[in-house]
Amino acid sequence: MKEPRCLGAAVLFGMLIIGFGFAWIFMCVGETDETPAYTEIVLDGDPSDWTDYDVLTDSPFDARGDVEITGLRVFANDSYLYVLVEIDASGIGDYAQLDVDINPRPGLPEFMANARQGQSILNIGRFENGERFEINIAGELATGTAFEMRFPLQAFGSTVPERVAVRVMGGTCCGPEWVMIDATSPARVAVLDEVEMPFFAQADLRARDSAFCRCQEPPTELEEASHINVPDGYRAEYFVAPSGLNCPSDVAVTSTGTIYVTSRRNGQILEISDDGNTTVYCEASVYSIDLDARDQLYGYDMPSGQIFSITKNRHRLIARVPETACESTLAVAPDGTLYIGHNFCSGDVQGVEATIYRIKPGGGDPEVLLRGWEFVNALDVDSHGNLYAASKNGLFSINPRNGEARQICGNTHASFHGLVATDGGTLYFSTGDFAESGGIFRVSPEGGLTELAAFTGNGIEGIALTADGEVVGVQRAIGGLQRVLPDGTIEVLVEANGLTSPQSLTISPCGDVLV
């Protein structure tokens, strides 16, 4: 038997801050071993989950500088080449670069990737007749006490990765002072009978150590939010008390429970730990944020049109779409493909229609996927990469390769954050963001439309779906939080209370509601 893991009941635990909500209710269930032989490696810079993989130990004390490679582990499963490089150093820092040669040969290798501390995306180059050609499929990197890398096997085409060698380069690239500090001998790639985890299995693995999933009571010193009305049996508390957050416009939570919040007017993205401590993750002014399947964070700045890949204390411009003063939506696919539902407000630019842009993993020039709609209300991508869009003309499935739109149903008028796609093809959407009435709807894969719940006083802006099929929606104009069961039963989690324009919400790995 594997260690028990936690499942969370998706109900409100009190934390409120200018539009936040939180939940703490857990139950633990046993997990059987009736699963494939998954690769259980989490790319986080921590080598502790590599103990079952063979290591090639580099020759000790052969480094020419203050960074020495101490170990190299490489293997391939059914989908990826994994590489772990362990070093003995106080930190590689910005001055040095780690070169990864895949299938080394005299002169230049067949493939090479170059890694630096703080990177998350690895560009792969193929060498042919002494010239490097960039491959449009990127690898991934996490740095911490070690360098963890993962390369899609499809990046190598018909070539089989057989050996890997690494070296540390230091100095000033790429002149006489650019010197090799240490290097390994080539290590043979072990081909293992392991399967890459599906998206949700990876989320379960990453959530094992999440603060949300330790079957423990929440901190006891939290301040009670006594002015928030919640049902009997619930207690509302400030997970993060009212503070310096200035115009929080979006929230995202990683598979391990780290919370990111945009502090729009402060020009910051904040990180909230499991004890409610808030720190500045990155100095970046963005309006919308989202994560891919590897927990890489992306941000879209409206109105400037800039799109960033965001890591700790760094934000890298990877694409730009036209400026607009109108709310435009961001959605990120599991592989890191980005979609922007770009809108022009009336009078902004005459004669220009709404556009859905596609940006390849790693960034580049945005491609026009679809153009011609009056307005793109919402976008969402399921864990298989299927793209869905809501407009004033209806709800559509969009082919992510050629932009072909298939109408699923008409006249949705979905709210800005009000679209959720499930892997089975069932969709949920909300209406009435600033209106006096609205609802939450379910759409079958065949286009059957069911109104799950109707609301008066204010409709619903953002929605999120729990693992139990419940829909939680936030009321932007009046600050309420509503929970709708699959049979349409409505439970008021937070009554109308004057919260300042809450609009976005998400669910933690164990079912906690974050608003």
Q: Are 108 and 86 in contact (CB under 8 A)?
A: no
pLDDT (0 to 100) of residue 76: 94
Model confidence at 11: pLDDT above 70:
no
pLDDT, tens digit (0-9, with 9 covering 90-100), for 399-428:
988 999 999 988 778 888 889 998 888 999
pLDDT, tens digit (0-9, with 9 covering 90-100), for 157-201:
899 999 999 988 877 777 777 888 888 889 999 999 998 876 545
Model confidence at 332: pLDDT above 90:
yes
pLDDT (0 to 100) of residue 351: 42
What's the CA gap between 461 and 481, in Å, rounded?
Answer: 10
pLDDT (0 to 100) of residue 31: 40
Q: Can you say how many angstroms the Cα of residue 429 is from the centroid of all Cα atoms in its chain?
A: 21
What's the CA gap between 374 and 125, in Å, rounded?
Answer: 41
pLDDT (0 to 100) of residue 182: 85
Structural domains of the chain, ranges and CATH numbers in brackets = 47-191 (2.60.40.10), 307-412 (2.40.10.500)
SS3 419: strand
165 forms beta bridges with 101
Q: Are 229 and 494 in contact (CB under 8 A)?
A: yes
Which residue type does 238 have?
A: Y
pLDDT (0 to 100) of residue 227: 58
Residue 43's closest CA among 147, 114, 115?
147
Q: Can you say how many angstroms the Cα of residue 222 is from the centroid of all Cα atoms in its chain?
A: 28
pLDDT (0 to 100) of residue 504: 74
Q: Are 127 and 108 in contact (CB under 8 A)?
A: yes
pTM of the model: 0.56
Longest CA pairwise span in the chain (Å): 73
Q: Are 111 and 102 in contact (CB under 8 A)?
A: yes
Average pLDDT over the chain, rounded to an integer: 77
